[in-house]
Structure 1
């Protein structure tokens, strides 16, 4: 799993992909929040 990093550390390609991903999810503002909660649940199961 890639380490979570700030936007400034992205390469230009990664930044473009990140922006495209955000635009793709613009219709569902809570998609990122839900994914974060799911990730936390998964991590809690592993521990």
Structure 2
């Protein structure tokens, strides 16, 4: 994700939110801590609605 973030962000645009289902199956605590440090909010949505 860090590499993707560097590719898509620039001084005028940044990632603000990540949408994921409530399971968090592939999201580690380290992953969420990184998001929090970067000021990216997480948006949990109902399972199977993506």
Using structure 1 for the length normalisation, give the TM-score: 0.30
Q: Normalising by the residue count of structure 2, what TM-score does the alignment of the two structures yield?
A: 0.29
**Structure (1/2) with the larger helix percentage:** 1
When you count strand as a share of all residues, which structure comes out higher? Answer: 2
